[in-house]
Structure 1
Amino acid sequence: MKVNKVKTAGGGAEEEQEETLMTELNRLVQETLTRSSWWERRGEDCCILGTAFLCLPPAFLLLSSTHLTWFLVGVMLMGVAHAVITIKGTHLASHGALSESPTWAKFWAVFFIEICGSFSARAGVQGHIKMHHAHTNIIGLGDSSVWKVPFLSRTIYLFFAPLAVPIITPLVAFAHLRGHSLGLIFRTALTVSLGLYSQYWLLVHVSGFRSPLSALFCMLVCRAMFAVPYIHVNIFQHIGLAMFSPSRRPKRIQQMSHGVLNLPRNLVLDWIFGHSLISCHVEHHLFPFLSDHMCLKVKPIVSKYLLEKQFPYHEDSYWSRLRFFFSRYQELMVFAPPITELVGGQ
């Protein structure tokens, strides 16, 4: 496996300096957080999620229309609302960013991840918080390897396989429950089934779908509407950047600045997926407890600080990353990526 070395001055003094730099950056962010209102800290994101839920009743009614145009508007409206709730909502809920109360944070995690997202809250938090965030770009731990399917061609993987995510998600959720308590298995099975059946029931009894297959197909279309960019975003922002060995991992500020990338502001994805998944992913990995809006607010502070301290601050366009992955799919997604060894401080 190839090793890319970045030559820097090594030693304990540099490691201590990096700890100091992270502490200083954390202080600057905390000062901004303290001066921010509740609306900035959580309100705006809660309002976006609330709007998505308010879009569901008209979406179900539009799906009952016999006029093709209105029917398609209903499909689009439900697809957008579902993406906001199950991507932005589940992501914020997994980080406990929707409430300062631990009890409510746990409730929202179960509600968004299990009922809305058809996945296990326990497995979601374990995989995302305790693995991906704790071990970002560490080979075999937090390297986004869950999205790699080496036997698929690049065209199938990038443009067609993601459409199966709504079907695969509950199956993977139940697979993760093996070995857990009967109480957890029962709760997850109940909440996931409740979320899936409630949408099916509403399509049949409110939207008027007469065939079970047509209702299920509509569910699949709405749930898969943003699956392709969702998978793209998950791999674009980490794979192809610096990867590290579990035995020689860098300090946190180095790990995140070298292994995370921001996509530019996007009118659609930035609001549907959330700023922390699109244009503020570096900020999110450095400060995962912040809401989407707060990540956007501290973005100028973080980018300026990292560049002043001569750390990388990766940014690239969606289409540039798509071309990059399409041309280097074998190297990045089939074969193991090279390890980057950072010696000392930057």
Structure 2
Amino acid sequence: RAPREGRARSKPAEPAPPAEEAAAEAEAERSPPERRREAGSLMGELSQAVQEVVRSSSWWERHGLDGTLLGLNWSFLFLGFLLLRSDNPFAFLCGVVILGVVHHAIAVKGSHLATHNALVESKSWGKLWAVFFIEVCSSFTAEQATYNHVKLHHAYTNIIGLGDSSTWKLPFLNRYVYMFIAPLAVPIITPFVAIGMLKEVEWKTATRTLCCILVGLYSHYWLLINISGFQSVWSAFSCMLVTRSLLVHPYIHVNIFQHIGLPMFSTDKKPKRIHMMTLGVLNLPRNPLLDWSFGHSIISCHIEHHLFPTLSDNMCLKIKPVVSQYLKEKKLPYNEDSYWSRLKLFLGKYEELMVHAPPITELVGIQ
């Protein structure tokens, strides 16, 4: 049955047909343990169907394709640095765009897959890739990224105060500053936030993280000076800031579009996993630029990713027809909306969604 918003006014109910009324009465008479067992059975059936797809897939489909795409980005990276040497404004601009897209593909797509150990099947290699992509390439700490994203956001999706996508909430800013100006500060503040978190980890881990962040930033600077031919420190740092900010707006927008504005839950009434993920997650349409830079699991297969977070981007895309068909057959939500539609929603309801705490959703009949 549809979720009922606790603060919303309900319209007068129309008389239900006899069959629907009988079904509603039968649903109301079922005990919470029966409902929980049914939710577990639904997740079990879906998991079995997805695992059949995974088992029938080759290593190339499970890991190889996404690894190859990340490798291609490294090739384009050096092309971008070389184009920055050109005196031709168009070639120089192409270099900036290439470096910006490649940086986000490595820092966002690579870090996201590494966080979920979706790049390789070995956990040891997975941890090494996580350190490389998150700390060296993204200037953040691998332990905190994994804890905040996997342990909180995925385990408590849309639970108020835990996994409600509240990392990037700045209620003191107005809607236009928040949506269009503040994101430009992300490349600057990210290393400082990471360094501030080092006091929460062991000194060995803190030393490793600090060294990795410095190596990543200095490598970027060194390449701009020695390969791209920048003559001054400030010009090199300005180019670093521009390229690392190129797609930061859609990155922040997608972060909030796919969860906030959907049903939110309290910690004491956390729904079963399949209900939490289908109600509180949304897919955006496929987009070549965002698919390449962020990955399918962040853009068009976000529901599939939240249900099966250890699968690679390509596998999320492959299981999408299975997941969407199953959820629709079982009358479960499968939320989809366009980027433009979500942007208009947030600009129109910014105070309600981003400044004030969203209303708790009261789930009727599936607790």
TM-score tier (shorter)? over 0.9
Out of 225, 250, 275, the residue aligned to residue 271 of structure 2 is: 250
Paired position in structure 2 for 1:207: 228
Out of 36, 51, 66, the residue aligned to residue 45 of structure 1 is: 66
**Which SS does the other structure have where 1:64 is aligned?**
coil
Out of 178, 190, 193, the residue aligned to residue 211 of structure 2 is: 190
* Structure 2 CA distance for aligned equivalents of residues 101 and 246 of structure 1: 34
* Structure 2 CA distance for aligned equivalents of residues 222 and 2 of structure 1: 44
- Counterpart amino acid of 2:291? D
- The answer to whether the Cα contact below 8 Å between 2:6 and 2:362 also exists between their aligned partners in 1 is no
- Counterpart amino acid of 2:239? C
Structure 1 residues 27 and 4: CA distance shift in structure 2, 3 A: farther
- The answer to whether the Cα contact below 8 Å between 1:262 and 1:279 also exists between their aligned partners in 2 is yes
Paired position in structure 2 for 1:267: 288
**Aligned pairs, number:** 346
Q: Report the alpha carbon displacement of residue 119 of structure 1 after superposing the two structures with TM.
A: 0.4
Q: Report the alpha carbon displacement of residue 179 of structure 1 after superposing the two structures with TM.
A: 3.1
Structure 1 segment 151-166 matched on structure 2, within 5 A:
151-166=172-187
Paired position in structure 2 for 1:308: 329
Q: Report the alpha carbon displacement of residue 3 of structure 1 after superposing the two structures with TM.
A: 4.8
- Counterpart amino acid of 1:320? S
- In the superposition, the TM-score normalised over structure 1's length comes to 0.97
Paired position in structure 2 for 1:101: 122
> Based on CA coordinates, which of the two structures has the bigger radius of gyration?
2
- Counterpart amino acid of 1:294? M
Unaligned runs of 5+ in 1: none
Paired position in structure 2 for 1:129: 150
Q: Report the alpha carbon displacement of residue 343 of structure 1 after superposing the two structures with TM.
A: 3.4
Q: Report the alpha carbon displacement of residue 295 of structure 1 after superposing the two structures with TM.
A: 0.4
| Identity within the alignment, % | 58
* Structure 1 CA distance for aligned equivalents of residues 241 and 49 of structure 2: 44
Q: Report the alpha carbon displacement of residue 4 of structure 1 after superposing the two structures with TM.
A: 6.3
Q: Report the alpha carbon displacement of residue 13 of structure 1 after superposing the two structures with TM.
A: 1.1
CA RMSD between the two structures? 1.5
**Which SS does the other structure have where 1:265 is aligned?**
coil
Residues 1:168 and 2:165 are matched in the alignment: no
Out of 29, 36, 50, the residue aligned to residue 57 of structure 2 is: 36
Paired position in structure 2 for 1:337: 358
- Counterpart amino acid of 1:185? A
Out of 211, 216, 221, the residue aligned to residue 237 of structure 2 is: 216
* Structure 1 CA distance for aligned equivalents of residues 306 and 103 of structure 2: 25
* Structure 2 CA distance for aligned equivalents of residues 217 and 271 of structure 1: 25
After TM superposition, the runs of 4+ consecutive aligned structure 1 residues lying more than 6 A away are 4-7
Unaligned runs of 5+ in 2: 11-23
* Structure 2 CA distance for aligned equivalents of residues 223 and 319 of structure 1: 23
* Structure 2 CA distance for aligned equivalents of residues 19 and 282 of structure 1: 17
- Counterpart amino acid of 1:15? R
Q: Report the alpha carbon displacement of residue 5 of structure 1 after superposing the two structures with TM.
A: 11
Paired position in structure 2 for 1:145: 166
**Which SS does the other structure have where 2:167 is aligned?**
helix
